[in-house]
Amino acid sequence: MVRSVSATKVLALRQQTQILWERYFSSIEKIVFTTLEIIRERLPSQPSRDGLVWNSSPGALLTLPHFSDTLHHYPFYYDMLGSQPDNQFTAVIYSQLGGPAVSTSPLYRLIKNVARSLYIARVSNTAAEQQVPSAVNQQQVGRPASSTSISQRFYPHPLIQTAAVLSLDEDCLLTTDEVDFAFAVWKSFPDRIVGYPARSHYWDDAKGTWGYTSKWTNDYSIVLTGAAFYHRYYNFLYTHWLSPLLHKTVEQSQNCEDILMNFLVSHVTRRPPIKVTQRKQYKEQPPGGARSPWNDPDHFIQRQTCLNTFAAVFGYMPLLRSNMRLDPVLFKDPVSNLRKKYRQIELVGSYWFQFVAEKLAAPGTRTVSLDDAVPIIKEKSLEDTVSIISEKPSSVNDIIAHNKVTRWSTDILVYAGTSGLQPAVFRDRFVTQVNRTKQNQPIAVLHHVRAIISGYETGTRTWLWDLSVF
């Protein structure tokens, strides 16, 4: 009889045994809580859960019945039940810097970019009084009850009706394409944190403590909730399930709530978060050299302390490392833009492209987002745009010297298309500029990039390019 059981079945039974052991019997604490939970379910008028919850991860101890009376509202059972999360999300913007949301402020631009998404259900701003962009539907914007707690961004507010929550800091730089792409990824991984700013933890042998680093390495274990998607069930767990000692640590330091959320999700799922695309800087620098609260040296020291406090309360280090990054299909591939769904993402970090837009923008405009750059460039005359090209001869030298020719050339080609320049006119201007900079030397740029017009997008007057690098 035993030998008649297939190897596949044996493996499945071993995996099931491992789940039961880790969730209910691996410590005295879990055995006690499991016993109390079984007794509670047998009491009159107490909600009970079926065998699917008890026998699958994350288990009954982490699937709180008071959150919902249906498993379809939890992030763990979509595949088992053959269902999917709804196709909308709620954006929660945490405002800490203060100040009016004028048209040039980061918060104003952020709300405008998020509201452009086809999947937005509501924008919830934690600031009590802020001006809302005129282009945004006033019915979309809600304001939770004001609170001085830094954890208010994770409060399970009734305004949040969608499964997906987009958590944002007010000085975030995300474009509409970045929001939409991250949401598309999250729908495939609804039980995890999916976002942009990545950080990592490590063990410091010299100090005998856990360390926190923002250095860019080949792996990460934290995705900050300043620009990330997660399931709203984690708001419920964060508020009603976490130890009061953890909440006290966050409130006393007025810091680390994003690290604590990562601890919680990794503890529940036993999986790392997911980083999307190549963006490194996701916050806008404050004007006039002012220091952001997140750039304060004490802020970083506090996060080191929080990391060790959280690990001590959890009893182990739940954070897991990952070296996976998800990019859009055909990202940076030398194919037509007609075949690419998220075109703006490739322009992230394109400082030359944004420089042109900022030069052409109204006087006093400090920064221009990628969403606003294309309309600004398109409305200007040919003479204005060409004058910008000839204004930065030194940049050509600098970029060629640092082997960034291809990336810079790509930026210029995109710029040429959005400005309405005809290919022949632009090519002549471009060659003249490179010759002026690289006198009596080969035109390296033209040897690296071959641009072929592949189409003309009706309505937006944007040239589409195939870039073939050789």
> Using an 8 Å Cβ cutoff, are 334 and 466 in contact?
yes
What amino acid occupies position 64?
L
Quick one: which of 106, 147, 108, 141 has its CA closest to 123? 141
* DSSP-H helix ranges across 315-369: 351-360
Q: How many CB atoms within 10 Å of residue 85?
A: 19
> Using an 8 Å Cβ cutoff, are 349 and 278 in contact?
yes
Per annotation, catalytic residue among 177, 258, 411, 466: 258
The reply to whether 398 belongs to the active site is no
Place of tokens 């529940």: 268
> Using an 8 Å Cβ cutoff, are 265 and 228 in contact?
no
What amino acid occupies position 195?
G
Which residues, 6+ apart, have CB-to-CB distance to 263 below 8 Å? 310, 314, 318, 319
**What are the start-end ranges of the E strands in 46-197?**
89-94, 120-125, 141-142, 164-169, 194-195
SS3 label, residue 216: coil
Residues forming beta bridges with residue 275, ordered by sequence position: 195, 325
Phi first, then psi, for residue 462 (nearest 5°) are: -110, 120
What amino acid occupies position 285?
Q
On the CB side of 468, how many CA atoms lie within 13 Å of its CA? 6
Name the strands in the sheet holding 209-213, side by side, starting at the edge strand that comes first in the sequence: 209-213, 198-204, 222-223
Residue 284 CA to chain centroid, in angstroms?
A: 15
Phi first, then psi, for residue 56 (nearest 5°) are: -135, 160
**What are the start-end ranges of the E strands in 126-172?**
141-142, 164-169
Task: Output the furthest CA–CA distance in the chain (Å, rounded).
Answer: 90
> Using an 8 Å Cβ cutoff, are 415 and 356 in contact?
yes
Burial level of 289, CB count in 10 A (0-12/13-18/19+)?
exposed
Distance, CA of 358 to CA of 362 (rounded, Å): 8
SS3 label, residue 104: coil
Place of tokens 């009016």: 100
Q: Which residues are catalytic?
A: 258
